[in-house]
Amino acid sequence: MPAVRKIKSAQAATLHPSFQVDYDSNVWTFAQTTVGQQREFVTVDWAIPVARGELLTDYKHRGLLDELKCYLKTSIVDDTVRMTVGSIPSTYMGVRELVKFMGEREIRTLFDISTAVSWEYVEGLEEQYIMAGGDVGRDRAWTHSTAYKLIHPLTQIYELADSLRARGGQAPCEAPFDGRKTYDVVTGPLGLARTGGLLPIPDEISVPILTYAYEWIEHGSEDVIRLQAEIIPMLIDARSAKGPRRIICLREIKRHIEEFQMSPIPGTLTPWHEPLLATDRIDDAGDEREISGTQALRRLILMTQSACSTLLQACTGIRAHELIGLSLDHDPTLQHGVIKSVTSLDGLMEVFSICGISAKREATRHEWTAGLRPLGTMHMPIVLKSIEVLVRLMEPWRALSGSSTLMLSFSHAKSLPSGADGIGRMTANRNSLLQREFAVEALTKKRGIEMTQAIYEVRSLRPQRWRITFAHYVFRSKPELMPALRTHFRHMSEQITDQGYIGNDAALLENLEGERVMETSRFLVQITLGKPIGGGTGTAASHAACRINGQGTVSDGRRNTD
Residue 481's pLDDT is what? 63
Q: What is the Cα–Cα distance from 3 to 168, expressed in whole angstroms?
A: 5
Q: Indicate whether 503 pLDDT > 90.
A: no
For residue 408, what pLDDT band results from cuts at 50, 70 and 90? very high
Q: What is the Cα–Cα distance from 52 to 46, expressed in whole angstroms?
A: 17
Q: Which of 352, 375, 387 is nearest to 532 (CA)?
A: 375
Phi and psi based region of residue 74 (left: phi greater than 0; alpha: psi -120 to 50; beta: remaining): alpha
Q: Phi, psi (5° rounding) for residue 341?
A: -135, 145
Q: Indicate whether 25 pLDDT > 60.
A: yes
* Average pLDDT rounded to a whole number, residues 251-257: 95
Q: At CA 200, angle to CA 197 and CA 201, rounded to 5?
A: 125
DSSP conformation class of 85 = G
More confident residue, 298 or 501: 298
Q: What is the Cα–Cα distance from 183 to 152, expressed in whole angstroms?
A: 9
Q: Which of 540, 460, 476 is nearest to 510 (CA)?
A: 476
Q: Indicate whether 539 pLDDT > 80.
A: no
Residue 509's pLDDT is what? 47
Alpha-carbon distance values, 470 to 273, 311, 380 (Å): 28, 11, 20
Any idea which of 33-42, 136-145, 171-180, 397-406 has the lowest mean pLDDT? 136-145
For residue 27, what pLDDT band results from cuts at 50, 70 and 90? very high
Residue 521's pLDDT is what? 61
The pTM of this model reads 0.67
Any idea which of 37-41, 107-111, 155-159, 387-391 has the lowest mean pLDDT? 37-41
Residue 525's pLDDT is what? 60
Q: Indicate whether 435 pLDDT > 90.
A: yes
For residue 536, what pLDDT band results from cuts at 50, 70 and 90? very low
* Average pLDDT rounded to a whole number, residues 3-32: 68
Q: Do 364 and 358 form a contact (C-beta atoms < 8 A)?
A: yes
Residues sharing a CB contact under 8 Å with residue 2, sequence separation 6 or more, in sequence order = none
Q: What is the Cα–Cα distance from 505 to 561, expressed in whole angstroms?
A: 22
Residue 121's pLDDT is what? 92
Q: Which of 176, 172, 46 is nearest to 110 (CA)?
A: 172
* Average pLDDT rounded to a whole number, residues 504-513: 42
The one-letter amino acid code at 157 reads I
Residues sharing a CB contact under 8 Å with residue 43, sequence separation 6 or more, in sequence order = 27, 28, 29, 30
* Average pLDDT rounded to a whole number, residues 266-280: 90
* Average pLDDT rounded to a whole number, residues 552-561: 35
Helical pair 382-393 and 293-316, crossing angle rounded to 10 deg: 150
More confident residue, 269 or 429: 269
* Average pLDDT rounded to a whole number, residues 286-298: 81
Alpha-carbon distance values, 415 to 14, 155, 249, 259 (Å): 49, 52, 15, 18
Question: Which uninterrupted H or E stretch holds 539?
Answer: helix 537-550
Residue 190's pLDDT is what? 83
Q: What is the Cα–Cα distance from 226 to 241, expressed in whole angstroms?
A: 24
Q: Which of 464, 484, 316, 327 is nearest to 394 (CA)?
A: 327
pLDDT tens, residue by residue, 441-497: 999 999 999 998 999 899 888 888 898 888 877 777 666 666 666 666 654 444 444
Q: Indicate whether 69 pLDDT > 50.
A: yes
> Rounded mean pLDDT of the chain?
81
Q: What is the Cα–Cα distance from 461 to 454, expressed in whole angstroms?
A: 11
Any idea which of 192-201, 482-491, 498-507 has the lowest mean pLDDT? 498-507
More confident residue, 525 or 281: 281
Residue 225's pLDDT is what? 98
Any idea which of 13-27, 345-359, 519-533, 542-556 has the lowest mean pLDDT? 542-556
Q: Indicate whether 127 pLDDT > 50.
A: yes
Q: Indicate whether 226 pLDDT > 80.
A: yes
Residue 487's pLDDT is what? 64
Any idea which of 41-50, 113-122, 282-291, 370-379 has the lowest mean pLDDT? 282-291
More confident residue, 5 or 562: 5
Q: What is the Cα–Cα distance from 181 to 484, expressed in whole angstroms?
A: 31
Helical pair 293-316 and 515-529, crossing angle rounded to 10 deg: 110
Any idea which of 344-348, 452-456, 548-552 has the lowest mean pLDDT? 548-552
Q: What is the Cα–Cα distance from 251 to 241, expressed in whole angstroms?
A: 13
pLDDT tens, residue by residue, 347-395: 899 999 999 887 655 667 888 888 888 998 998 999 999 999 999 999 9
Q: Indicate whether 542 pLDDT > 50.
A: no
Question: Percentage of the chain surpassing pLDDT 90?
Answer: 49
Residue 552's pLDDT is what? 34
Question: Which uninterrupted H or E stretch holds 526?
Answer: helix 515-529
How many other C-beta atoms are found inside a 10 Å radius of the C-beta of residue 22?
11
At 561 the three-state DSSP class reads coil
More confident residue, 195 or 533: 195
In the chain, where are the structural domains located?
Answer: 3-187, 203-550
* Average pLDDT rounded to a whole number, residues 509-519: 49
Residue 528's pLDDT is what? 55
Q: Do 366 and 490 form a contact (C-beta atoms < 8 A)?
A: yes
Question: Which uninterrupted H or E stretch holds 291?
Answer: strand 288-291
Residues sharing a CB contact under 8 Å with residue 505, sequence separation 6 or more, in sequence order = none
